[in-house]
Structure 1
Amino acid sequence: MRRIVTIGEIVVEVMATERGDGFLEPLSLVGPFPSGAPAIFIDQCGRLGQPCGMVGRVGDDDFGRLNLRRLAADGVDVSAVSVDPEAATGSAFVRYRPDGDRDFVFNIRRSANAGIALDAAARALVASADHVHVMGSSLFSPAVVAATEEAVATVKARGGTVSFDPNARRELLAAPGMRAALSGLLDRCDLFLPSGPELTLLTEVDTEEAAVGEILARGVGAVVVKRGAAGAEFHDASGRIAQPAFAVEEVDPTGAGDCFGGAFVTCWLRGMPPAEALRYAAAAGARAVTRRGPMEGASTFAELDAFLAAARV
């Protein structure tokens, strides 16, 4: 089976137990949970039995050890996750507002994540990879952008493939060089996995239909649009496939899109028909929201098969 590698942030997540606006008063919290968008993605790949690994950096602390143990236990190669002797592991504090929106307090850029680089261990992992998955949220520094671009070039030169989840807000594009970096990655990817509003983020058009056409015309092989409770869609040169969302009781939506992406990329690399891959991915996203904690709902194929056997749309 093809080996998937991703590069990016590893954090712990701590979340409020009650809804409200921000963190301006003392409140009850639960955590820490292993987290970080690329870490959630690759953990889902590992849970599905796909060969995979991650390039990242954690602190020499319990938060780092918590993440490394979870990833390794789920089958992720962590040989290229270095340990910073001084900087702390990244963190994210989350609170849900009454309307379901979220407030975050992040420590990523000044955490151990700031030291992510392609050292000898990371280059060895990349050299073994057949596929690179890129998360836009991970491109938080020029050093990480450079490491990601080198990994993409290395794998593409060997005939490998690239998937790209922009996972970004429009404000991110204001950072110097960020739009060019994201646009360059879009041009080099084989599979593009935006959430609904991100579909037009890097295009010259405003409508989603036109954006899909423009992206495919740029050489991207397929586009998978994630719409949460509204389902998902697959687009390629042969047309469109729609997948409705599964009806579940939502406990925590954080990480659902990353689990969806990990499941879809795994199935796609195994040669499954797009409709089947989309169905597994939708199931993975649905199961993810039923557990508190970003990685707690990552699924095995056996769990997805059981879910699908009993599922409602």
Structure 2
Amino acid sequence: MSADLPRFDIVTAGELLAEFVAERPGQRFDVPGRFQGPFPSGAPAIFASQAARMGARVAYAGCVGSDGFGDLILDRLSADGIDTAAVGRDAEYPTGTAFVRYRDDGDRDFIFNLTHSAAARLDVDDAGLERLADCRYLHVMGSSLSSPAAIALIDRLATRVRARGGRISFDPNIRAELMADPATRAAVLTRIDDCNVFLPSEADLAWLSHGEPEAETVARLLDERRMSLVVLKRAARGSEAFTSGHAPRRVAAYPVDEHDPTGAGDCFGGALMAALAAGESLERALQLASAAGAHAVTRVGPMEGCSDRATLDALIASHGGAR
């Protein structure tokens, strides 16, 4: 590796968990039912898997238990080529878990065990932080800002990445239950202030609105904050990218048969940031991201739909190329 290149293209940190997925729509949590799993999961882990499969050099900071679920997660991260030197193993607390069910209307409900699991006990020493800070991008997920340990680690890491000339991307993933915690709310607002690339959903952007139209909210963020790129995720309606002084770039979604929507936004972000880190144009990065989000929903399991560039190129070609 050239001395002029950073060690990693992308570093991310946060929750690692084993996920169980209800087998049929309408299945409830308060009666016996069948669940598929365990699947390796966690929003930043899905993001990292997608970015690594795109060829990005990715490192992860997190914590799992000294149990079979921890083995499952570490095996998947390693198989995807992700550097796991900063993933700890807690001898006292178990690996985090999540159970997900699907309502008849397609909405999802989750039961998480994160607060009292290894996922909430991540820590990295100074030497580890210095190693991780040698990157092009630090990617932060809003879901990872739910424990004091994670908030503190990401704060320390962001400061070091910024000092070394790296950039920060942030997917806020704002949820009402998370925003009820003052520490999490403050941490989300800090990352919004500090990021260079902002990846909100329509609901995230509405949360930041002062009652003005979407375009005015985006213009205000670009004018008042450090961010230079806002990519608005519109789910089945594609995505839209905003930069100061330029017309928005719009990319349509790719129609596919949906089997599991979990992880689609994380795959979108992973493909986008991997493409940008590789020097791809914004238009090409958006196209790959849209294809990654579409492919993700065709597989059951949060990380099972992560895809490599050849798969994405084939999906794009099957729909007539650029959209």
TM-score (norm 1): 0.96
Partner of 2:202 in structure 1?
196
Write the distance in 1 (CA, Å) between the matches of 2:213 and 2:188.
19
> What one-letter code is carried by the residue in structure 1 that aligns with 2:282?
P
Write the distance in 2 (CA, Å) between the matches of 1:249 and 1:304.
16
Write the distance in 2 (CA, Å) between the matches of 1:87 and 1:253.
29
Write the distance in 1 (CA, Å) between the matches of 2:303 and 2:55.
16
> What one-letter code is carried by the residue in structure 2 that aligns with 1:163?
S
Q: State the Cα distance separating 1:271 from its structure 2 match.
A: 2.1
Q: State the Cα distance separating 1:120 from its structure 2 match.
A: 4.7
Partner of 1:243 in structure 2?
251
2:98 to 92, 99, 114: 92
- The 8 Å contact of residues 200 and 206 in structure 1, kept in 2 or not, is answered as no
Give a deviation string over 1:85-127, Cα, whole Å, max 9, x none. 1211001001000000011110011110121122256314323
Is 1:104 equivalent to 2:110 in the alignment?
yes
Change (3 A) 1:279 1:3: same
Within 5 Å, give how 1:1-313 maps onto structure 2: 2-20=8-26, 22-120=28-126, 122-217=128-223, 218-237=225-244, 238-311=246-319
> What one-letter code is carried by the residue in structure 1 that aligns with 2:9?
R
**How many pairs are equivalent?**
313
Write the distance in 1 (CA, Å) between the matches of 2:236 and 2:198.
20
Change (3 A) 1:294 1:39: same
Unaligned runs of 5+ in 1: none
Write the distance in 2 (CA, Å) between the matches of 1:55 and 1:256.
22
Write the distance in 2 (CA, Å) between the matches of 1:209 and 1:289.
28
Write the distance in 1 (CA, Å) between the matches of 2:177 and 2:273.
27
> What one-letter code is carried by the residue in structure 1 that aligns with 2:200?
P
SS in 1 for 2:85: coil
- The 8 Å contact of residues 254 and 293 in structure 1, kept in 2 or not, is answered as yes
- The 8 Å contact of residues 46 and 74 in structure 1, kept in 2 or not, is answered as yes
SS in 2 for 1:80: strand
- The 8 Å contact of residues 199 and 231 in structure 2, kept in 1 or not, is answered as yes
Give a deviation string over 1:285-311, Cα, whole Å, max 9, x none. 000000111111111111111111112
Task: Note the aligned Cα RMSD (angstroms).
Answer: 1.5
Write the distance in 1 (CA, Å) between the matches of 2:131 and 2:15.
17
Write the distance in 1 (CA, Å) between the matches of 2:98 and 2:127.
27
TM-score (norm 2): 0.93
Q: State the Cα distance separating 1:133 from its structure 2 match.
A: 0.3
Give a deviation string over 1:241-263, Cα, whole Å, max 9, x none. 11111010001010010000000
Deviation larger for 273-282 or 179-188: 179-188
Q: State the Cα distance separating 1:181 from its structure 2 match.
A: 1.8
> What one-letter code is carried by the residue in structure 2 that aligns with 1:96?
Y
Change (3 A) 1:107 1:190: same
Q: State the Cα distance separating 1:39 from its structure 2 match.
A: 0.5
Deviation larger for 118-127 or 292-301: 118-127
Change (3 A) 1:59 1:202: same
Give a deviation string over 1:129-169, Cα, whole Å, max 9, x none. 22100000000112211110111110111111000000121
- The 8 Å contact of residues 12 and 67 in structure 1, kept in 2 or not, is answered as yes
> Percent of aligned positions with the same letter in both sequences?
48
Unaligned runs of 5+ in 2: none
Write the distance in 1 (CA, Å) between the matches of 2:145 and 2:295.
28
Write the distance in 2 (CA, Å) between the matches of 1:158 and 1:121.
15
